[in-house]
Structure 1
Amino acid sequence: MPVKRNGFSLIEVMVSLVILTVGLIGIFNLHIVSKRGSFESFQQTQASYYANDIINRMRLNPSQLAKYAEDSPYSGAPDPASKICEGGAICTTAEMREWDIFEWQSAFTGEAEKDGTNNVGGLPSPNGCIYVELNKVVVVMSWTGIRKSHGTETGYSEYVKSCGTKNNKKRIFEIQTAIF
Structure 2
Amino acid sequence: MPVKRNGFSLIEVMVSLVILTVGLIGIFNLHIVAKRGSFESFQQTQASYYANDIINRMRLNASELVAYGSATGTKYTGTSLTAPSKSCTGATLCTPGELQLWDVYEWQASFIGESEKESGSNVGGLPSVESCIFVKPQEVVVVITWKGVRKSSGFEEGYSDEVKGCGNKTNKKRIFEVKTAIF
Deviations 1:55-113 (A, max 9, x none): 00000000110010158210033232121100111111111001000000001011122
In the other structure, the counterpart of 2:31 is: 31
CA–CA distance in 2 between the matches of 1:137 and 1:52?
A: 12
Fraction of identical pairs, as percent: 68
- State whether structure 2 residue 146 is matched by structure 1 residue 143: yes
Alignment of 1:39-54 (within 5 A): 39-54=39-54
Whether the 8 Å contact between 1:69 and 1:132 is mirrored in structure 2 is: yes
* Displacement after TM superposition at 1:33 (Å): 0.2
Question: Structure 1 length as normaliser, TM-score?
Answer: 0.96
Whether the 8 Å contact between 1:50 and 1:108 is mirrored in structure 2 is: yes
Whether the 8 Å contact between 1:74 and 1:127 is mirrored in structure 2 is: yes
Whether the 8 Å contact between 2:146 and 2:167 is mirrored in structure 1 is: yes
- Segment drifting more, 68-77 vs 158-167: 68-77
CA–CA distance in 2 between the matches of 1:147 and 1:21?
A: 27
Alignment of 1:1-180 (within 5 A): 1-69=1-69, 72-77=74-79, 78-180=81-183
Q: Please state whether the residue corresponding to 1:73 is helix, strand or coil.
A: strand
Question: Structure 2 length as normaliser, TM-score?
Answer: 0.95
For structure 2, the residue ranges without an aligned partner over 5 or more in a row are none
Whether the 8 Å contact between 1:109 and 1:121 is mirrored in structure 2 is: yes
* Displacement after TM superposition at 1:152 (Å): 4.0
Q: Please state whether the residue corresponding to 1:138 is helix, strand or coil.
A: strand
CA RMSD of aligned residues (A): 1.2
* Displacement after TM superposition at 1:116 (Å): 3.6
CA–CA distance in 1 between the matches of 2:123 and 2:92?
A: 29
* Displacement after TM superposition at 1:135 (Å): 3.9
Q: Please state whether the residue corresponding to 2:34 is helix, strand or coil.
A: helix
- Segment drifting more, 44-53 vs 4-13: 4-13
* Displacement after TM superposition at 1:115 (Å): 2.3
Over 3 Å counting, the alpha-carbon distance change for 1:135 and 1:65 in structure 2 is: farther
- What letter matches 1:157 in structure 2? S
Deviations 1:102-133 (A, max 9, x none): 00000101112222412111001001110001
Q: Please state whether the residue corresponding to 1:137 is helix, strand or coil.
A: strand
CA–CA distance in 1 between the matches of 2:45 and 2:82?
A: 25
CA–CA distance in 1 between the matches of 2:170 and 2:25?
A: 31
Aligned positions, number: 180
- What letter matches 1:3 in structure 2? V
Deviations 1:12-33 (A, max 9, x none): 1111000000000000000000
